[in-house]
Amino acid sequence: MKPGIDSRTPQQALAALLELYAPEHLLVVTASDVPALQAFHKAHPEARISLASPGALPEALAGQRFDLALVVDCLEHMPKKAGLELLGGIRNLNASRLAVLADLAACDWKETDFFALALQNSESFQRDDQILTLFTYDLREYKDVPDWLNARFWANPENFGKYWW
The residue ranking higher by pLDDT, 164 or 100, is 100
Arithmetic mean of pLDDT over the chain: 90
Domain count, the chain: 1
pLDDT tens digits along 110-161: 999 999 999 999 999 998 888 999 999 999 888 777 777 776 766 776 776 7
Residue 153 falls inside a structural domain: no
CA distance 132 to 44: 27
pLDDT tens digits along 52-95: 999 999 999 999 999 999 999 999 999 999 999 999 999 999 99
Residue 152 falls inside a structural domain: no
Q: Per the confidence metrics, is the pTM higher than 0.75?
A: yes
| 126 torsion bin: left (phi>0), alpha (psi -120 to 50), beta (else) | beta
- Quote the DSSP letter at residue 88: H
pLDDT tens digits along 7-44: 889 999 999 999 999 999 999 999 999 999 999 999 99
Which residues span the domain enclosing 76? 10-138
Over residues 99-109, the mean pLDDT reads 93
Strand partners, 66: 95
CATH number, domain with residue 78: 3.40.50.150
CA distance 143 to 156: 26
Residue 128 falls inside a structural domain: yes
pLDDT value, residue 149: 72
CA distance 95 to 137: 10
Residue 2 falls inside a structural domain: no
Residue 151 falls inside a structural domain: no
CB contact at 8 A, 11 and 32: no
Burial 118-147 (b: 16+ CB within 10 A, else e): bbeebbbbeeeeeebbbbbbbeeeeeeeee
Residue 89 falls inside a structural domain: yes
